[in-house]
Amino acid sequence: MQIDILTLFPEMFTGFFSHSILKRSQDKSIVTINLHNIRDWATSKHKNVDDYPYGGGAGMVMMIEPVVTCIEELKSRTAYDEIIYLSPDGETLNQKIANQLSIQKNLLILCGHYKGIDERIRTNFITREISIGDYVLSGGEMAAVVLTDAVVRLIPGVLNDETSALSDSYQDGLVSPPAYTRPADFRGLKVPDILLSGNDREIVKWKYEQALERTKQRRPNLLNDQP
């Protein structure tokens, strides 16, 4: 998969993309992530990328020209399956959307900043708008990291244990069962006997029951959601 990210702050991504699963996915050449600084497409003397909103109001708006010339240049080289804009008023990211995106080949992700982007970009160049939750961030960069991580970890071969993503919370419509590791007894706080029993069938059954019970208690809405 190729992911092109358009941002005014490419440096924000380097820590996340150079560690753990996002790093491994790139090292294994399963994913290529390209960061593009929108300012490189600004044509004015001072490389302006934002301006005052028509009609007045607080804050600055990202200008159409640098964003669109950047998108057009990238589109001339790559056929994108989705051109995503991250915005608090987009559809809320969930596991289903992450699954859909994980089977795509090329994604372009646009991060907004300031008071957002010129509406004409959204209506004419964006194919999908995604929010990572009902709160407002200072920009789309953190949302882009969240989206990229949620998608990339689902691509086969990215995780070492192939079943690992499949047993994630939400993947089967349930939250994860509780997990324990050594020691089996920490100051009298004991790991459930069943997990030490070696009876694989019973352990699988126990984990499923725990996941179901937790989902009922904590996230009953998941039980009603369509897969």
Point out which residues bind ligand ADE (CB under 6 A). Answer: 86-88, 131-133, 135-137, 140, 143
- Report the C-alpha gap between 37 and 138 in whole angstroms: 17
SS (H, E, C) 183-201: CCEECCEECCHHHHCCCHH
The sign one gets for the Cα dihedral 168, 169, 173, 179 is: positive
Q: Which is nearer to ligand ADE, 140 or 177 (CB)?
A: 140
Q: Which is nearer to ligand ADE, 67 or 174 (CB)?
A: 67
Shortest CB 148 distance to ligand ADE, Å: 12
Q: Which is nearer to ligand ADE, 11 or 73 (CB)?
A: 11
Q: Which is nearer to ligand ADE, 142 or 191 (CB)?
A: 142
- Report the C-alpha gap between 133 and 102 in whole angstroms: 20
Shortest CB 49 distance to ligand ADE, Å: 16
Residue with tokens 């209506």: 123
Q: HSE of 98 in the Cβ direction (CA atoms, 13 Å)?
A: 23
- Report the C-alpha gap between 38 and 139 in whole angstroms: 14
Shortest CB 92 distance to ligand ADE, Å: 8
- Report the C-alpha gap between 107 and 127 in whole angstroms: 11
Shortest CB 44 distance to ligand ADE, Å: 25
Shortest CB 136 distance to ligand ADE, Å: 5
Shortest CB 7 distance to ligand ADE, Å: 12
The residue among 23, 27, 125 whose CA lies nearest residue 73 is 125
Q: Which is nearer to ligand ADE, 8 or 211 (CB)?
A: 8
Q: Which is nearer to ligand ADE, 68 or 88 (CB)?
A: 88
Cβ atoms of 214 and 179 within 8 Å: the answer is no
Cβ atoms of 101 and 151 within 8 Å: the answer is yes
